[in-house]
Structure 1
Amino acid sequence: MRLLHTSDWQIGKVFRFADDDILPVLQQERLEAIGRIGRLARAQGAECVVVAGDIYDHLRPSERTLRQPVERMRQFPDLRWHLIPGNHDFNERDGLWERLARTGLPDHIVPHLAHAPAALDAAGTAWLLPAGLGHRHVIGDPTAWMDGAATPEGAIRVGLAHGSVRSFGEEAPGHNLLAIDRARQAGLSYLALGDWHGAQRIDARTWYSGTPEVDGFDLGGAGGGQALLVTLDGPRAEPVVESHAVGRFRWARAQAVLTCADDIAALEGRLRAIDPDDPSRVLVWLAVSGALGLSELEGWQARIVDGLGSALRLLRIDGAPGLAPSSDDLDAFGPGGAVRAAAETLARQAGEGDEAARAIAAAALQRLYLLARDGAGGMA
């Protein structure tokens, strides 16, 4: 049989760094990824999609947010979608899973809220062993029950769980930790995991799918934006796992020390190369240091802050190049006179004192430079 493994959709996720323009775009793309998953499963001949928890980002989504992923899955009635609760959307009493049930889910969308085997195909040759979470933090291994779970002799056994085979991120040691060799202990053909947001192989039969739409700068190159196509030829055959890209956005961290115009050009080229065909798919968190002359600062503003800031989906900048005016910069103010004297004073102030005073002096000097360069006010 073939199945598609995905997890950590986190519908309704709030990106706290995002402004009112970009937040709805990022949230909408997480929904659009469901359609891409469905089309991929259909094109590759998968019989079902298993979703290893965290379908939602929080426990009390609005009615619209609650229904949105269901409506995306409804468009693929030829696929069965098997869902379990994760730590973000755990199965609490009178919670979102009971709300979902009251909406009247289509037959092909199947939440698994109990730790009990369920047939994956009509013939009963493949069985799902779901281990959803009933609390945000579970003490003990939620997959331990799989070892003794009864399925027909010779059946393919697929585990579906949400947790960590090692301590990831904010989870404290002992919370939602899974045995790293659970697939072997429980005789599983495949163990589909959620929680870690990058696709990751633990062993031949145990994989994290990662989130289908990257949601953090630190995951830009760590396997996010994937779904896993899994082919199971029999209960003891080693699964064939193929990673398929389903995400739209590309996230990256970058650093730059800027000292000259060539550094600015190199930085621009490096960031545009992330996706030269469609820079609007790119989000960058850029850390900048160094110092530039007045003309180079103008280039920094035009090429990076304004230029790339308009081309990329997001350009988040930490820091800024300092000001180190050259003699050529000061010559733009003429050989002498009051304007030249004011420029020299501002240049000196931009290099001394506290950070706020330096920034004010640098901004004033840059403004004076632009006016002098353009010949405003008869200062040339």
Structure 2
Amino acid sequence: MGTLKIIHSADWQLGKPFGRFPHEVRNALAEARLDVIDELGKAASAAGAAHVVVAGDVFDNVEPGDRIVMQALSRMERARVTWWLMPGNHDHARAGGLWSRIRGRAPSSVKIVDTAEPVEMEEGAWLLPAPLEHRKTTSDPTAALVDMATPPGALRIGLAHGSITEFGASGESSNIIPPDRAKSAGLDYLALGDWHGHLTVGDRTAYSGTPETDRFGRDEPGACIAVDLRSGEAPQLRKVETGRYRWLSRRWNVANEEDLERELATLRTEARLSDVLLSLTLSGVASLSDRVSIIALLENRVGHELRHLDLNADELIARPTTDDIARIDVQGALAGATSTLRSKAEANGSEAQVAAAALERLYVEALRFDAEVSK
């Protein structure tokens, strides 16, 4: 056959709860995971691909709920492509379970590959799936691919979900796949899922990563892989961005608002803030007034521009100036408390962090009092 073009995706984890986030953020992230199905359909159309293979974890669990299932199927039905869905560890196959129900509801363009048997995708091209029947197993889920027979000269495309041993996993880890499986099973390409980032292993094996990023620690947007396959040749792989949200981790050393604004200007060139979840650690030394204004700017303005902000300002050390202390009405007992807190904060002892926080609270309350009086 000529060139077969496919889209390789994995780890959609539809129905992921994102429980630690506020309600409106959870809803936005959950909906984006459904929206990315449309993006995968567009990626297939742009690449001229007639097939999308999904290497496991289509759903986040084995009971995603009817709405998630029907939303997913209706979106897949809209795309002019055949979808090949395989169970992973989050949505593993079991008799009479999720995949049996989906098969009864799925349109003809959605194919469920929940048994380890080769299936013809189109003339001259065969899909060799290695679906998981359990969430964890110490056996190699791709071992059966070696003995799967296909017609002479046919393209052999493996589909599996698990960890390549090169990741440093031990023999007791689950769903371990040898890094040379494509060679030992005579595969033209091995499409993998489980690792949520984009990664190639040799010239015939790759992880597509999740199409919509779902955790901090991976700054890159979600993606899939456009694969061009021709018998006897190494596949041509091209990463295609599909995700909406960016999960960015940053560490900024700042001393005043000007430093913060410079960092924010750089961030704005990287992504639209409304599509950014930012895990931000502040470090450095600032006056008490500058520290308060920096945090206020982040919480009261930038935090609302972003989709979500995780802020850690523990390493931004306040060094109160004479003017900072003067802003506090230091008389009587308050004067003694202010002096004691300042001394402890500057001593860098075991009570320094608590003392600095208390002094900052006094300063903020003084500002609020002044604002009320001036009304």
How does the TM-score come out when normalised to structure 1?
A: 0.88
What's the counterpart of residue 92 of structure 1? 94
Residues 131, 161 of structure 2: 8 Å contact kept: yes
- Structure 2 residue aligned with 1:325, among 302, 320, 324? 320
What's the counterpart of residue 197 of structure 2? 198
Taking the aligned partners of 2:66 and 2:267, their CA distance within structure 1 comes to 39
Structure 1 residue runs of 5 or longer lacking an equivalent are none
Deviation of the 1:261 alpha carbon: 4.1
What's the counterpart of residue 57 of structure 2? 54
Deviation of the 1:291 alpha carbon: 4.2
The one-letter amino acid of 2:286's match is L
Taking the aligned partners of 2:169 and 2:117, their CA distance within structure 1 comes to 29
What's the counterpart of residue 365 of structure 1? 363
Residues 264, 299 of structure 1: 8 Å contact kept: no
Q: 1:262 to 1:167 in 2, by over 3 A?
A: same
* Cα deviation digits, residues 216-242 of structure 1 (max 9, x gap): 111123xx5111110112x21111111
* Cα deviation digits, residues 170-207 of structure 1 (max 9, x gap): 99734111121111111111111000001111011101
Q: 1:170 to 1:302 in 2, by over 3 A?
A: farther
- Structure 2 residue aligned with 1:309, among 303, 311, 316? 303
Taking the aligned partners of 2:292 and 2:325, their CA distance within structure 1 comes to 15
The one-letter amino acid of 1:242's match is R
Residues 260, 292 of structure 1: 8 Å contact kept: yes
Deviation of the 1:110 alpha carbon: 0.4
What's the counterpart of residue 141 of structure 1? 140
Taking the aligned partners of 1:202 and 1:146, their CA distance within structure 2 comes to 18
Structure 2 residue runs of 5 or longer lacking an equivalent are 345-350
Deviates more, 1:204-213 or 1:265-274: 265-274
Counterpart mapping for 1:184-333 below 5 A = 184-221=183-220, 224-233=221-230, 235-275=231-271, 278-320=272-314, 321-332=316-327
The one-letter amino acid of 2:222's match is G
What's the counterpart of residue 347 of structure 2? none
Deviates more, 1:310-319 or 1:171-180: 171-180
Residues 268, 303 of structure 1: 8 Å contact kept: no
**Does 2:178 align with 1:179?**
yes
Taking the aligned partners of 1:134 and 1:287, their CA distance within structure 2 comes to 41
Q: 1:171 to 1:25 in 2, by over 3 A?
A: farther
Residues 347, 365 of structure 1: 8 Å contact kept: no
Taking the aligned partners of 1:272 and 1:313, their CA distance within structure 2 comes to 13
- Name the Cα RMSD after superposition: 2.6
Q: 1:377 to 1:219 in 2, by over 3 A?
A: closer
* Cα deviation digits, residues 109-140 of structure 1 (max 9, x gap): 0001111111111xx21111011101111232
Residues 327, 363 of structure 2: 8 Å contact kept: no
* Cα deviation digits, residues 259-294 of structure 1 (max 9, x gap): 34443334433433432xx21011111123444323
What's the counterpart of residue 341 of structure 2? 349
Taking the aligned partners of 2:267 and 2:5, their CA distance within structure 1 comes to 38
Q: 1:344 to 1:271 in 2, by over 3 A?
A: farther
**Does 2:85 align with 1:83?**
yes
Taking the aligned partners of 1:153 and 1:3, their CA distance within structure 2 comes to 21
Seq. identity, %: 34
Q: What SS does the corresponding residue of 1:21 show, helix, strand or coil?
A: helix
- Structure 1 residue aligned with 2:40, among 37, 41, 56? 37
Q: What SS does the corresponding residue of 2:151 show, helix, strand or coil?
A: coil
Deviation of the 1:348 alpha carbon: 3.7
Q: 1:166 to 1:343 in 2, by over 3 A?
A: farther
Q: 1:375 to 1:24 in 2, by over 3 A?
A: closer
**Does 2:152 align with 1:153?**
yes
How does the TM-score come out when normalised to structure 2?
A: 0.89
* Cα deviation digits, residues 274-333 of structure 1 (max 9, x gap): 32xx21011111123444323313421342221210111111112443432212323446
Aligned residues: 365
Deviates more, 1:155-164 or 1:361-370: 361-370
Taking the aligned partners of 2:297 and 2:118, their CA distance within structure 1 comes to 58
Q: What SS does the corresponding residue of 1:173 show, helix, strand or coil?
A: coil
Deviation of the 1:149 alpha carbon: 1.2
* Cα deviation digits, residues 59-85 of structure 1 (max 9, x gap): 112121222211110112x31101110
Taking the aligned partners of 1:42 and 1:171, their CA distance within structure 2 comes to 40
Residues 140, 174 of structure 1: 8 Å contact kept: no
What's the counterpart of residue 116 of structure 1? 117
Residues 346, 365 of structure 1: 8 Å contact kept: no
